[in-house]
Amino acid sequence: MEIKYSGYNPTQTFIVSKYNFRKMLKRNIWCDVPNEVGKILMKNHHFLSKDDILFDKTNFNTLNKTIGLLRNSALGDIIQLIPIVHYLKRTTNNKYVLITQKHLIESVKPLNVFDDVIARKTGDVYKIINLDGVLERDHSLTDIHREMHRIKLYEEYLEIELDKYDFTVYIS
């Protein structure tokens, strides 16, 4: 199984004793792991499997599904998602739900950018795109991404290119 660690640390060692697995993973780098190990690691919200990637250019517009965008903290980073979500809504047939911490819901929901803002995945969410750790790449003094705009980091991660940065909100 191919997985990607997207946590806060540039590297992190993971141990799954049951399968005698120990490996240091780099943030946002795909890594092959045994399926049994991958299933265990995927229970941690800082992991994404290649099977969860939705941005396949050939069928993305035909999904007509509810996609969860997971960002657990950092209100400013959630605000940076506004033009991303506007673009995705304009160019796809999907709904976009923000999955975040409970205390952020009342700040983000009134902006009316996301189709919903929730604290945990519900049955309506088809797949989750884990965005935790995506922007943290710019914290490292040695990472080439540190000088990129945060929206550009989201664009690169999601493999999209925005035609405009639309921060329009409709406060209710």
Angstrom distance (rounded) from CA 97 to CA 100? 10
Q: Hey, where are the domains in the chain?
A: 2-52, 60-158
Q: What is the pLDDT of residue 10?
A: 85
How far apart (Å, rounded) are the C-alpha atoms in residues 128 and 96?
10
Pairing of strands 95-99, 66-70: parallel
Q: What is the mean pLDDT of residues 78-95?
A: 93
pLDDT, position 14 = 95
| Predicted local confidence at residue 139, as pLDDT | 63
pLDDT the model gives residue 135: 79
Instruction: Classify 100 as helix, strand or coil.
Output: coil
Tens of pLDDT, residues 41-64: 988 877 877 766 555 555 556 678
- Asked if the model's pLDDT at residue 79 lies above 90, the reply is yes
Taking only Cα atoms into account, the Rg of the chain, rounded to an integer number of angstroms, comes to 16
| CATH entry 3.90.550 includes domain 60-158 | no
